[in-house]
């Protein structure tokens, strides 16, 4: 069973901490290597409210398939003087919250500490793939769409390689939204045009990223349904550094 790991903000101060989304994906990948974890969803809610109702702390909902728990943490510990996120402190708090559930289930909490050591050894690096690699018509090359997550943004890549990975080409084509599920779901059409060109496009097939296996360059092409500006704005809404209000307006939705 695949376990989805979610992070909630129990107080306003916990909202929008850079790196929270990357931490969610990183921990999710690691706990899914623990085959005994039989939940399909676990949510850890971080709160900085010391007066929180005791009945809402720890594991407050658990039906055997979904577990929700709340854990107290000082949000100031997550923020360095320069404004960046103290990733070790953030990960330690999240895994400490998970320990409550592990202890309730009688699972080995050392596994969570080993997860933290592994994450620390990897430098808190996390990448997320958008499905499986797709093979070219002549079976000579594969293309894989993925991103690398950082606090506040993600770098999106297309990776070409041959069967034995003796040859590869990685093309970073966008510094964008830190939630990969939004980008992957919008740009859900991916396929080879022929043995040299690979295309990634949105669900309406208005915006196309066009890649060639022989070069690091790529192009963006548009086939707008309504107007070129609207199609361009939809792509711009996925760029890094925008507020939620800016993204929503660019996408043409009311805020």
Per-residue pLDDT of the chain (255 residues; tens, 9 = 90+): 689 999 988 778 778 788 999 999 999 999 999 999 999 999 999 988 877 777 778 899 999 999 999 999 888 888 888 888 999 999 999 999 999 999 999 999 999 999 999 999 999 999 999 999 999 999 999 999 999 999 999 999 999 999 777 899 999 999 999 999 999 999 999 999 999 999 999 999 999 999 999 999 999 999 999 999 999 999 999 999 998 899 999 988 876
d(CA 228, CA 183): 20
Report yes or no: 42 and 4 within 8 Å, Cβ to Cβ: yes
**Degrees (nearest 5) of the Cα angle 136, 139, 145?**
40
**Distance in angstroms (rounded) separating the CA atoms of residues 158 and 37:** 32
What Rg, from alpha-carbon coordinates, does the chain have?
A: 21
User: Which tokens belong to 69?
Assistant: 């728990």
Residue ranges covered by each domain of the chain: 4-121, 127-250
What SS3 class is residue 185? helix
Token digits of residue 159: 């990776």
Report the distance separating Cα 6 and Cα 19, nearest Å.
13
* Cβ neighbourhood burial of 215 (10 Å; 0-12, 13-18, 19+): exposed
Q: How far apart are the first and last CA of the chain?
A: 37
pTM comes to 0.91
């Amino acid at each position: 069973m695949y376990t989805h790991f979610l992070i909630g903000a129990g107080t306003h101060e916990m909202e929008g901490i850079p790196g929270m989304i990357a931490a969610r994906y990183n921990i999710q990948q690691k706990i899914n290597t623990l085959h005994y974890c039989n939940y399909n969803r676990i949510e850890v809610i971080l709160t900085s409210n010391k007066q929180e109702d005791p009945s809402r702390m720890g594991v407050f909902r658990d039906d055997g398939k979904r577990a929700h728990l709340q854990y107290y943490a000082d949000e100031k510990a997550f923020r360095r003087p320069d404004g960046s996120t103290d990733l070790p402190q953030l990960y330690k708090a999240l895994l400490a919250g998970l320990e409550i559930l592990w202890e309730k289930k009688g699972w080995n909490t050392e596994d969570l500490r080993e997860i933290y050591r592994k994450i620390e050894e990897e430098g808190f690096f996390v990448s997320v793939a958008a499905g499986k690699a797709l093979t070219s018509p002549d079976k000579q090359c594969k293309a894989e769409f993925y991103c690398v997550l950082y606090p506040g943004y993600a770098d999106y890549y297309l990776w070409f390689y041959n069967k034995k990975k003796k040859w590869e080409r990685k093309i970073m084509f966008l510094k964008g939204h830190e939630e990969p599920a939004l980008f992957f779901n919008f740009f859900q059409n991916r396929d080879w045009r022929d043995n040299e060109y690979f295309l990634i496009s949105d669900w309406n097939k208005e915006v196309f990223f066009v890649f060639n296996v022989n070069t690091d360059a790529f192009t963006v092409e548009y086939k707008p349904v309504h107007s070129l500006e609207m199609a361009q704005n939809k792509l711009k809404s996925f760029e890094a550094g925008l507020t939620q209000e800016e993204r929503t307006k660019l996408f043409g939705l009311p805020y």
